[in-house]
Every structure is written in C-alpha cells, then in structure tokens.
Amino acid sequence: MSKGNNKSASEENSFPKIIDLVGESWGLFKTNFKPLLILIAITGMINLIASLGGLFFDDTNGQELISDLFVLVLVIFLSILSIYPLLMYLQSLDKIISGKNLIKGQLSGIFKETKGKFWGFLFVTILYGLKVLLGFILLIIPGFIFMVMYFMAPYIYVSEGKRGLEALRESKAITSGYKGKIFVTLVVLYLPIIVVSIILTSLPIISSILVTFLSFILITNPSFILYKKLRKLKGDGV
C-alpha cells in the first residue's frame, strides 16, 4: 500500500479536523441550497418571533401579569415549535449524507416523516437538557461533561431511531475517548456565533437572523457530520 493510501486510511480513522467539518458542512449546504435554506428560514422566523416576544416580556417589567403570562407561553410554544423544522433539517442531513441530494418537492415527504418523530425527538432533547442541567447543579464541571457526553443523542434518534435513554447511552458510548476533542471542537464552532451575538446586541432582528444561519452552518451541520464520522469510527457495536 502506498504512503498516500496509508495517509488517507489514517485520516479516515482519526478524529476529524474542525476545518474539515466546517468545509464539509458548507459543501452539503451548497449542494442542497434551496431545501435547506427553506428550513433554516422557517426556523429563523420562528426564533425571531420568539426573540421579539422575549424582548416584549422583558419590557413589561411585570406590570401586567396576564400580558406577561401570555407572552411567556407564546415564547415557550414557539421555542417548541422551532424544533419541528430543526428535526426536518436533521432528517434532510441524514438523507444527504447517505448520498441523496434533496429537491424542493421532497420536503413534503420529510414533513410527513417528521410528524411521527416529533415527540420522540422532543423527549430525547428534554432528557439531554435535564442531564446537562443536573450536571451544572453538581458543581458546574459535570454539566460540561454531560453536555459533551450526551450531545449526540438527538442525532442518534434521528438517524438510528433509538429512543430516550437508549439514545443517551449510545451517545455516551460513541463519545467515549473523544470528550476532550469534542469539547474543544464545540467551543471553537460556537465562538463566531457568540462574537456575532455580542457585536449585534443592539440589533436583535439582524442578530437573530444571522445567528440562526450561522448556527446551522457552524453547529448543526458539523455536529451531525461529526456524529456520523464517530459512529463509523466506533462501529455499530459500541
């Protein structure tokens, strides 16, 4: 076997570089631009409305209890609703990575698939959030450990159909031995979004739109790609 082939095999069996994850993320987005952008736009609109509702909630300063409660319920509802296009997006990514390019008309089929997975996805997401919250209650550091350990659970549910605690256990197995590298990867990927959020604090609408787009390109896509690569690296028998 040549040195080039050895190098290629070595790279395939090693933890992916951040630049490669971002590059592959952008490549997936470009080749399936229209359907993915539609889902990003839908999510962005929902998040924007929720953000504006949150600002209104802050501005009332508790002066009108009924109004405050209504806005709070609306924000929570919209936050949950935004999970639907996110789930559609992840299912689209799963198909794309499997070698299927999407066309606009296929979104209706993915929409129907999503209806049967929404509550399961929401449940896994809530379990993940509770695990992380518990970790932060336990002197903060465990929170970061749990955040990395279980962050692949929603992706596992989408791609493999494993539910609830089973998805969490599978995420723990896949991330085993890579937690430090995953943490560094996530920090680096989140940094541009944090910077943009800080810079555009006084422009909430622009900030919400830009942060939503960057979140998909720099967080959602690379994270899902990372899950796929580590799943391949670890194999199905983890």
Q: Measuring CA to CA, which residue among 167, 23, 184, 35 is closest to residue 101?
A: 35
Q: Is residue 49 part of a domain?
A: yes
The pLDDT score that the predictor gives to residue 107 is 72
The pLDDT score that the predictor gives to residue 63 is 53
Predicted structure pTM score: 0.84
Residue 44's domain spans which residues? 19-116+177-231
Q: Is residue 159 part of a domain?
A: no
- Evaluated on CA atoms 212, 215, 216, 220, the torsion sign reads negative
Give me the number of domains the chain comprises: 1
Q: Measuring CA to CA, which residue among 196, 209, 197, 153 is closest to residue 37?
A: 209
- Mean pLDDT over residues 121-137, rounded? 93
Query: By the 8 A CB rule, do 123 and 163 touch?
Result: yes
Highest mean pLDDT among 46-60, 67-81, 110-124, 158-172: 158-172
Q: Is residue 43 part of a domain?
A: yes
Question: How confident is the model over 173-200, as pLDDT tens digits?
Answer: 999 999 999 999 999 999 999 999 999 8
Q: Is residue 204 part of a domain?
A: yes
Q: Is residue 110 part of a domain?
A: yes
Q: Is residue 1 part of a domain?
A: no
Q: Is residue 65 part of a domain?
A: yes
Q: Is residue 145 part of a domain?
A: no
Query: By the 8 A CB rule, do 36 and 44 touch?
Result: no
Question: Crossing angle, helix 221-234 and helix 179-199, to 10 degrees?
Answer: 180
